[in-house]
């Protein structure tokens, strides 16, 4: 590719928007998303994911360095396409590549000789060559590695984490040829202060991304299984972990709800590919069943505590769930396991309220049929409080000690509250 990069970022979610904004300081960038509402918000400087500030969005759009559009024609002048679309699971936990396929097809209408297509979406090893490249060739009429090239640079965004920005995280890069790898590296080096790490093939980069989250999933599942065991032994899990943590090589993982768009999804991608090549994985998915049951476990602890306190009469007892996102200080509700707590409590006949000041209440209502209450509802008393997601705003707003003094059973899922304030924790 001889021309200076003119970049199109396809997909403007948690990954694509920060990337497009950063790249626009060095290159002309068009941010494309097929959601007109999302585009309208961005044009006004509003990012509902809270990854990019209003000031950053407005500044990036000055002098037409960054354009936002839901019109496919807007990316026609690009010679570099970066795909940052979701790669979720189907209802049967198989890879859902529909967004990836649609993005690849979209690009083919604009792909020209010398073009470069870089994928950031998390996939299984081999997916780029097996799924994406054939689409690009078929619909563009161009020849792979002769007329156009591909690259892979897996996203490593940590939503809601202000301490680990895009620029501060080392970026893996790979290309379909050595020259393509260099092209990809040059683009990312302009925005990644931590530097880039070149690997020998796209398949290696795909595998590295998949195992990052699979490893974390397995480690958390071990902590969750310990929490289930120690609960039966009447041992405080957090105290055990603090004690074990005094050894230099003990890994500081903690039990919790494992949701979101990566950790609970990526192991299935890796296992899918393993099965496809005739290998039956034994460890990759070993923790999924444990992690999937933790929301129900928390709810059952609340039910048991209220039943004990009220001689089995828990009908219409009130519970407040504090936090609904999949992780703290992040408005993302994708694959949140808090819904398991809610539905289990609700099915038991309890009156359940949910408070989360940073999620999109309308989206939660549409996606989960759950009403998010406002601050004015917090003044009432509750029979139980579940701190499910410790957003900083929740910790500053809710007086858990006051609720406890009023008779509420306090359960702390993440173990962040003082021990004297709570009645139970994972």
- Residue 10 tokens, joined: 């396809």
- Residue 254 tokens, joined: 């903690």
Of the candidates 255, 270, 268, the residue with the CA atom closest to the CA atom of residue 222: 255
Answer with the one of 235, 259, 290 that is the final residue of a domain: 290
- Residue 12 tokens, joined: 């403007």
The alpha-carbon radius of gyration of the chain (Å, integer) is 23
For residue 322, list its beta bridge partners.
Answer: 355, 387
205 within some domain? no
The per-residue pLDDT for 125 is 97
The per-residue pLDDT for 31 is 97
User: 3-state SS string over 246-291?
Assistant: CCCCCCCCCCCCCCCCCCCCHHHHHHHHHHHCCCCCCCCCCCHHHH
Inter-residue contact 94 to 58 (CB < 8 Å): no
The per-residue pLDDT for 290 is 95
Inter-residue contact 191 to 25 (CB < 8 Å): yes
Backbone angles phi, psi at 381, to 5 degrees: -90, 155
Q: Report the distance separating Cα 196 and Cα 175, nearest Å.
A: 13
Q: Report the distance separating Cα 353 and Cα 371, nearest Å.
A: 8
Inter-residue contact 409 to 385 (CB < 8 Å): yes
- The most distant pair of C-alpha atoms in the chain lies apart, rounded to whole Å, by 77
Answer with the one of 149, 172, 200 that is the final residue of a domain: 200
Residues of the chain under the 70 pLDDT cut:
1-2
The per-residue pLDDT for 158 is 81
Strand 171-175 versus strand 148-152 pairing type: antiparallel
The per-residue pLDDT for 260 is 84
Cα dist. 49→54, 65, 95, 98, 148 in Å? Answer: 12, 22, 24, 23, 33
135 within some domain? yes
Inter-residue contact 206 to 176 (CB < 8 Å): no
**pLDDT for 345-394, tens place per residue?**
999 999 999 999 999 999 999 999 999 998 888 878 899 999 999 999 99
Q: Report the distance separating Cα 347 and Cα 319, nearest Å.
A: 13
The per-residue pLDDT for 2 is 58
> For residue 3, what are the contacts with CB-CB under 8 A and spacing of at least 6?
79, 114
Same-domain status, 76 and 101: yes
Same-domain status, 285 and 297: no
Same-domain status, 55 and 173: yes
The per-residue pLDDT for 375 is 86
Q: Report the distance separating Cα 155 and Cα 15, nearest Å.
A: 7
Same-domain status, 19 and 165: yes
193 within some domain? yes
Task: Supply the CATH number for residue 353's domain.
Answer: 3.40.50.720
The per-residue pLDDT for 377 is 80
Same-domain status, 311 and 351: yes
Task: State the residue range of the domain holding 232.
Answer: 210-290
Answer with the one of 137, 165, 200 that is the final residue of a domain: 200
Same-domain status, 310 and 285: no
Burial tier of 91 (Cβ tally within 10 Å: 0-12, 13-18, 19+): exposed
The per-residue pLDDT for 9 is 98
Same-domain status, 67 and 171: yes
2 within some domain? no
Same-domain status, 91 and 180: yes
The structural domain count of the chain equals 3
Which residues are annotated as catalytic?
262
* Neighbour tally for 268: CB within 10 Å: 22
Same-domain status, 135 and 36: yes
Cα dist. 26→51, 66, 205, 220 in Å? Answer: 20, 10, 25, 39
The per-residue pLDDT for 262 is 85
| Whole-structure pTM value | 0.92
Q: Phi-psi category of 356—alpha, beta or left, where left has phi over 0 and alpha has psi -120 to 50?
A: beta
């Amino acid at each position: 590719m001889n021309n200076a990069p003119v970049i199109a970022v396809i997909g403007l979610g948690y990954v694509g928007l920060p990337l497009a904004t950063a790249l626009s300081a060095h290159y002309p960038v068009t941010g494309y998303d097929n959601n007109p509402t999302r585009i309208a918000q961005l044009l006004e400087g509003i990012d509902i994911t809270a990854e990019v500030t209003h000031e950053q969005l407005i500044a990036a759009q000055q002098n037409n360095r960054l354009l936002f559009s839901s019109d496919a024609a807007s990316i026609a002048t690009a010679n570099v396409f970066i795909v940052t679309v979701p790669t979720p699971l189907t209802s049967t936990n198989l890879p859902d590549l529909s967004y990836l396929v649609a993005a690849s097809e979209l690009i083919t209408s604009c792909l020209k000789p010398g073009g470069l297509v870089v994928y950031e979406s998390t996939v299984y090893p081999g997916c780029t060559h097996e799924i994406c490249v054939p689409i690009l060739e078929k619909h563009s009429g161009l020849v792979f590695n002769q007329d156009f090239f591909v690259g892979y640079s897996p996203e490593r965004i940590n939503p809601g984490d202000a301490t680990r920005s895009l620029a501060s995280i080392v970026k893996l890069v790979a290309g379909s040829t050595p020259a393509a790898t260099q092209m990809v590296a040059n683009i990312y080096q302009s925005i990644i202060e931590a530097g880039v790490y070149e690997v020998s093939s796209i398949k290696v980069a795909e595998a590295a991304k998949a195992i990052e989250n699979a490893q974390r999933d397995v480690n958390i599942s071990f902590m969750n299984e310990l929490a289930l065991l120690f609960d039966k032994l009447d041992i405080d899990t957090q105290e055990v972990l603090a004690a074990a943590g005094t050894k230099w090589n003990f890994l500081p993982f903690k039990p919790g709800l494992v949701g979101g768009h990566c950790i609970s999804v990526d192991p299935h991608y890796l296992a899918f590919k393993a099965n496809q090549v005739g290998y039956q994985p034994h460890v990759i998915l070993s923790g999924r069943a444990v992690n999937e049951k933790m929301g129900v476990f928390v709810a059952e602890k609340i039910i048991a505590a209220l039943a004990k306190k009220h001689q089995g009469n828990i009908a219409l007892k009130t519970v407040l769930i504090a936090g609904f996102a999949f992780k703290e200080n992040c408005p993302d509700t994708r694959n949140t396991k808090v819904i398991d707590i809610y539905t289990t409590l609700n099915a038991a006949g309890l009156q359940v309220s949910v408070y989360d000041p940073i999620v999109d209440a309308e989206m939660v209502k549409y996606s989960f049929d759950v009403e998010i209450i406002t601050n004015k509802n917090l003044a009432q008393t509750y029979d139980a409080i579940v701190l499910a997601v410790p957003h900083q705003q929740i910790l500053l707003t809710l007086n858990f000690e006051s609720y406890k003094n009023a008779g509420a059973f306090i359960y702390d899922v993440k173990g962040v509250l003082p021990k004297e304030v709570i009645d139970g924790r994972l």
